[in-house]
Amino acid sequence: MDYTYYGFSSCVGAFFEMPTTDARKILPDHLQPVEMQHTRSILALTAFEFTESEVGAYNEIVMAVIVPPVVEPGKPLPKAAFYPFYVGTDTPESRAHAIERWHLPHYMKDLEIAFTHRDDEIEVNLRDDGQPVLDLVVTKHVAVPQKNLYNSFMSDDSGNYKANIYMEAPHSEHEEEGGSLTLYPHAMTESLTLDEIGTYPFREQWYQAGLQTFEPLETL
C-alpha cells in the first residue's frame, strides 16, 4: 500500500456551530451532517504549517463540515470525519498536488496564511491580496503523544472519494472555549450564513510538530 506523507511544524483546528441548512447545501446527497443539537451542525477549521511534502513547504487552511465517520474492521475509531468544501494554500504546487491526488476543492489563488505563535495560543490570519477572509485563534492545553485517525470525504465531477488520514504528534484537545473565529465576506465563506456561525469554538485541537499520513484514496 502506497502512503503519502506530510511533515508539519504545527496544526491547529477548532469546531464551531453552524446552521444545518448551510451544511446540507454544502454536502453531496450521500453525506449527512453531524448535528450537535437540532438545526445546528459543525463547521471545522484546520490550519497547517507543512514543512515537508512532495511539493515542498507550504501553509494550508481547510474549511469542512463534520459528517459521520466510517468504522472499519482492524482500524481505530476515527476521531472525526470531514467533508472539506474549501481549501486555501499559499503555493500553486501544493494546490495542484491536492486537487490531482485527493480531489480537494481549492480556492484557485495563492493566499496569505500567517501563523502567529504565542505561549498559549496560535493565531491564523487568512488574507486574499490583503482582503480579510478569516481570523482563527486556537488555545493550548496539555499535550500528549498520539496517533489519531480521521476520515476525509471528497466529491467532484469524477466521483465520490474517501481518504483515511493519520495524525501523529504531541496533541492537545479541550472544550474550554478559549479560541475565537471571525469570518469575513469572501468567495470562501459565501456558502455560510456568517451571522449564524459560532464565534467561539466548542472544541479546540493543537498538534505540535509531527507527521500526517494519507492512505491511498478510495473510490466510493
Residue 193 has pLDDT above 80, yes or no: yes
Task: Give the residue extent of every domain in the chain.
Answer: 4-219
According to the model, what pLDDT value does residue 177 have?
87
Alpha carbons within 13 angstroms on the beta-carbon side of residue 35 total 10
Res. 1: pLDDT tops 90: no
pLDDT in tens, 20-59: 999 999 999 999 999 999 999 999 999 999 999 999 999 9
Give the span between the Cα atoms of 62 and 47, in whole angstroms: 6
Q: What is the pLDDT of residue 186?
A: 98
Contact of 53 with 8, CB cutoff 8 Å: no
Burial 140-174 (b: 16+ CB within 10 A, else e): bbeeeeeebbbbbbbbeeeebbebbbbbebebbbb
Q: Which CATH architecture has domain 4-219?
A: Beta Barrel (2.40)
Whose cell is 486537487? That residue is: 99
CA distance 80 to 4: 20
pLDDT tens digit string along 86-109? 999 999 999 999 999 999 999 999
**Please, which residues bridge with residue 168 across strands?**
147, 211
Q: How many angstroms separate the CA atoms of 215 and 6, rounded?
A: 12
Q: What does pTM read for this prediction?
A: 0.96
> Which uninterrupted H or E stretch holds 84?
strand 80-89
Provide the pLDDT for residue 209. Answer: 98
Phi, psi dihedral angles at 189 (to 5 degrees): -115, 5
Query: Binning pLDDT at 50, 70 and 90, where does residue 205 land?
Result: very high
